[in-house]
A and B are shown apart, each in its own frame.
Chain A
């Protein structure tokens, strides 16, 4: 038993565990970041009583959520009511499986990749699984048998379906530019040097990596806007719309069931941020120059490279998570019909135009 339990297996198990812990801890950490971050923007302190800088506040919240009474209101459709939080949380977990957060390393003669599943259709998998999340919200809104929850469910279904179109179409540009739907290959493609903007060739001394944002600036703007709508964050938080439809789809939920909806939102944010980093900001690239500064050889150099890649990836993800928080506490909320108008009349035509532009660029060999 022990013999077959090689270092490679150990590392693989460790990898699963670490990824699970990271995803599970996203919600409490982000809850803290959101509270302290909003407090920072609003000239106040935020929670600062429990633990250093109030860091343990989230733990207390989790304990509260777990031990609170979990009532099921009498008027709900019980099966779907109980199912809805699960349905919204599970796809959020599943999406992260294909995101690469470092390149591969050779251990014991076998290649260890830093992602759970190295799918060759990674990007398609992400979109197919992510679009399942909306069912949880619709189920929650419908089964709650509450008028406000119903309105929230209706809003979210139309909003998420409308924006999924632009989200999917904006990514087609990336697929065309890097000729792959494999996330690892897309990231590898971004390690090359960015040579030209349209027909204009950049000078030799300017060594800029070919990150997605340089290749697909328009696509990036559509993607990040649609990502806000997909994760139901301000200025697109209409399914919740606290001041309008009270709390929308999770109005009738309490205790851990509510907390699962909240976790799903934060994990979706995490996935969206990792996708932005992966598709448009070079994924795990960006810190390799540090390797030249340290005198390391052999395996330790390899591990150092992995550590730097992980660092670069999570730094980028953290920035975009912060960006989500930043926008939330700055902008007012759209109205429902305005969101629809923006989605169908502005975002969709632009994302289609982006595909044509990319096709031209690919045809003329600019990308």
Chain B
């Protein structure tokens, strides 16, 4: 064996010939290479892994992505700040509300706009609903990939109910585009708090039921414990955040450690596990859903009547009666939508604990109504890059389990 920095090693073939052999080079010997994805049912139609197999064991692999690349960051430099909100929906489409909120926070940071109290509470509520929905999808799909289909549908029923709630807020279920710079597009309807609490109670019961169905199951233990292990060091090396990092014992949660909005004023625990395997990631997500439901219940109690949009002429879309009845209002409205509002020169990075990990928007403004540069930190990118080393030496079936447990959302990965 030569020095460690060079992965190439000498390999002596049975015929006596010595060749240079790179263990990371998939094509260096005659093992079977299988392209798993992008049309593979567990690869979401957007991921591809080329795996070198020995039997069913993955000896080495590489992950490819970019199948749903839509140049989101470049679009951010060509759309006005308000127009870009719809693009944020399409990042992590399982929890688009968190993307809306985080993006609005980044622009508000540049503008120095203060968001009214009620809007902040509603933003917190929708962020947590989105987190619950995202986790339901993640643990559900993970279970489907391991053959437990009913578990997934229990969660999905609750997800549909959550979408019905979201629909009451903004009229859309999946692509919400709910936030506006400085506030929200619509106020919560009459009696929303009551419906919210009813949903919280129902969802608590369903999560308990899901917990009972799967968490103690022997087959589930066999399939998940010690599988797809990504320990603390590896997580730090690959910049893992969110539930995947917490499952490996990294006790970081931006809601608690860098509290934005009113997260200081609500009580919640941050679940942390130690082993960083598929089971721990599952367990952390299940517990996080319970904590999110607690946060939602607290927010629903504290929400008061009030404005939902900052009284700032620059960012606020003028009311319809002003537009229709006054000349100044009409001109304002026209300018607002034709050119957008100018954001002062500067740069800002706003990050928030999204369902998957740290979601950040880095915006550079040169004083124009469009961003000069925009960069999005999607947690899935970092998680996906670790997959190849996570599953080295494990079975194909374990790779599917590991992939499901780190919750790669292609919209956020490819952007």
Contact = CB atoms under 8 A, between A and B. Distances in A.
Nearest to A42: B153
B222 A243 contact: no
Given A43-B153, A332-B219, A243 B145 contact: yes
Nearest to A244: B397
Contacts of A241: 397
Contacts of A244: 42, 145, 396-397, 400
A335 B395 contact: yes
B214 to A, nearest CB: 7
A334 B153 contact: no
Interface in A240-269: 241-246
Contacts of B56: 151, 336-337
Nearest to A39: B153
Contacts of B150: 38, 41-42, 329-330
B219 A334 contact: yes
Contacts of A334: 219, 222-223
A246 B147 CA distance: 12
Contacts of B219: 235, 331-334
Nearest to B148: A332
Contacts of A242: 41
B63 interface: no
Contacts of B397: 241, 244, 333, 335-336
Contacts of B32: 147
Interface string A325-345: 000011111111110000000
Taking residues whose C-beta sits less than 8 angstroms from the other chain, chain A's interface range is: 20 to 34
A44 B154 CA distance: 10
Interface in B188-213: 213
B28 interface: no
A82 to B, nearest CB: 25
B147 A333 contact: yes
Contact of A243 (B34, B41, B153, B398): B41
A331 B147 contact: yes
B27 interface: no
A323 to B, nearest CB: 15
A338 B221 CA distance: 12
Given A147-B32, A242-B41, A244-B397, A333 B153 contact: no
A43 B148 contact: no
A316 B222 CA distance: 32
B40 interface: yes
B220 interface: yes
B256 to A, nearest CB: 33
A329 B149 contact: yes
Given A38-B150, A41-B150, A332 B223 contact: yes
Contact of B214 (A44, A235, A245, A332): A332
A78 B303 CA distance: 69
**Interface of chain B: mostly helix, strand, loop or mixed:** helix
A40 B257 CA distance: 45
B12 interface: no
B398 to A, nearest CB: 7
B86 interface: no
A336 B55 CA distance: 11
Interface in B129-153: 143-150, 153
B217 A331 contact: yes
A48 B223 CA distance: 35
Contacts of A330: 148, 150, 213
B157 interface: yes
B223 A335 contact: yes
A234 B146 CA distance: 10
A361 B8 CA distance: 64
B147 A147 contact: no
Contacts of B40: 246
B154 A42 contact: yes
A66 to B, nearest CB: 26
A235 B217 CA distance: 12
Interface string A302-335: 0000000000000000000000000001111111
Contact of A332 (B41, B157, B220): B220
A237 interface: yes
Nearest to A334: B219
Interface string B219-234: 1101100000000000
Contact of B143 (A332, A335, A336, A337): A332
Interface string B140-181: 000111111110011001000000000000000000000000
A330 B210 CA distance: 11
Interface string A35-56: 0001001111000000000000
A245 B396 contact: yes
A147 B50 CA distance: 13
A205 to B, nearest CB: 40
A147 B219 CA distance: 27
Which of A329, A334, A335 gathers the greatest number of chain B CB atoms within 10 Å? A335
A182 B154 CA distance: 47
A96 interface: no
B161 to A, nearest CB: 11
Contacts of A280: none
A237 B148 CA distance: 12
Given A43-B153, A43-B154, A148-B34, A333 B223 contact: yes
A151 B213 CA distance: 30
Nearest to A342: B222
29 contacts: A42-B153, A42-B154, A147-B34, A151-B56, A235-B219, A243-B41, A243-B145, A243-B146, A244-B42, A244-B396, A246-B40, A329-B149, A331-B217, A332-B147, A332-B148, A332-B217, A333-B147, A333-B148, A333-B219, A334-B222, A334-B223, A335-B222, A335-B223, A335-B395, A335-B397, A335-B398, A336-B395, A336-B397, A338-B223
Nearest 5 A/B pairs, CB to CB = A333-B147, A332-B148, A42-B153, A243-B145, A243-B42
Given A246-B40, A332-B147, A334-B219, 11 more contacts: A38-B149, A148-B34, A235-B219, A237-B147, A243-B145, A244-B397, A332-B146, A332-B220, A333-B397, A337-B395, A338-B222
